[in-house]
Amino acid sequence: MTATAPFAKMNGLGNEILVVDLRGSSKVLSADEAMGLALNSTTRFEQLMAIHAPKPGQSAPHILIYNNDGSPAGACGNGMRCVALAEHLKTGGDTFAFETAAGVLQATVRSATDISVTMGRPRFAWADIPLSEPFNDTRHIELEIGPQGSPILHSPSVVNVGNPHCVFWVDDDVNGYDLARFGPMLEFHPLFPERANISLAQVTTRTSLTLRTWERGAGLTQACGSAACAAGVSAARLKLTDRTVTVTLPGGSLVIDWRADNEIVMTGPAILEYTGVIDLATLTPSLVTG
């Protein structure tokens, strides 16, 4: 087993991503170890993408995804673009496949600003999201924020895009709501047994949305790729938009294409900030210079 593992500190639209390559090791990070890396200023992250060797009988590298509180994530669109760019810079290749908890995801790197990742197929059934009680129509469920009879927000759409997502629709500025206050309360709402990502979305045209997200296990974020997918798909289900939309988040924009075969493709940029190695015995990071 190797004594160190290379890492790349990256970001996707301001979403802090740490990519750690553990393919030369049998090491699997625990939740506490992931939290320790998140607290280190060198390896600080919102999501950690740990790349492992393919599972027996598989050919695609296996990726475990951690939020900065140590909890697991099923999918991270910004993180997958970062992994794809890291592999592109390392190998010179343009197309990649990775196995995740959300299935095998494909990535194509055309440039650092034009990276596409398949995000799988959305799941709409209440038990697949999952919710703690049945809802026949998950395009809008009974959930309110604010005074009874006069809620500030109500009737969100819910969907699973690798992670559970709850999207509230607003007619005005998404920044006009205190998402930092009610986001954590809704993340842990009894209706969401696996917690949920909480988003505010405004439809601006048939082909565009604006979005803010409280990310499960990470908090307010500059960008959440799976939330952008969830909002794009949910808007199309409600016939508010076409199936291809540009989603503008605080950190920038992503193009979400919900294809006719039900697969979601997300396209956007990624940035490499710096690289280093992590001592696997102590989990101490050091930068690679030169």
The tens digit of pLDDT for each residue in 150-177 reads 899 999 999 999 999 999 999 999 999 9
Q: How many alpha carbons fall within 13 Å on the CB side of residue 15?
A: 37
Q: What stretches of the chain show up as alpha helix (H) in DSSP?
A: 31-39, 77-91, 179-187, 225-237
Model pLDDT for residues 29-55, shown as the tens digit of each residue: 999 999 999 999 999 999 999 999 999
101 and 216 housed in the same domain: no
d(CA 186, CA 158): 13
Q: Is 176 helix (H, G, I), strand (E, B) or coil?
A: helix
19 and 140 housed in the same domain: no
E strand spans, the chain: 4-12, 15-21, 47-52, 62-67, 72-73, 95-100, 103-111, 114-118, 144-145, 153-154, 157-160, 164-169, 197-205, 208-215, 219-221, 244-249, 252-258, 264-268, 271-279, 284-287
Cα diameter, the chain: 62
Catalytic, 82? Answer: no
The CA-based angle 126-74-178, given to 5 degrees, is 75
Domain interval for residue 18:
4-119+270-287
Amino acid at 58: Q
115 and 131 housed in the same domain: no
61 and 113 housed in the same domain: yes
64 and 108 housed in the same domain: yes
Active-site residue (options: 82, 166, 224, 229): 224
Mean of the per-residue pLDDT values of the chain: 95
131 and 238 housed in the same domain: yes
Position 102 confidence tier, pLDDT thresholds 50, 70, 90: confident
**Tokens at residue 56, please?**
């027996």
| Pairing between β-strand 144-145 and β-strand 153-154 as defined by DSSP bridges | antiparallel
At residue 2, the pLDDT reads 67
Higher pLDDT among residues 238 and 104, named by residue: 238
Percent of the chain topping pLDDT 90: 92
CATH number for the domain that contains residue 33: 3.10.310.10
167 and 105 housed in the same domain: no
1 pLDDT exceeds 70? no
The whole-angstrom distance between residue 44's C-alpha and the CA centroid of its chain comes to 16
Catalytic, 166? Answer: no
115 and 14 housed in the same domain: yes
276 and 256 housed in the same domain: no
Count of domains forming the chain = 2
What pTM was estimated for this model as a whole? 0.93
8 and 55 housed in the same domain: yes
Active-site residue (options: 76, 82, 166, 229): 76
Given a contact cutoff of 8 angstroms between Cβ atoms, the answer to whether 166 and 143 are in contact is yes
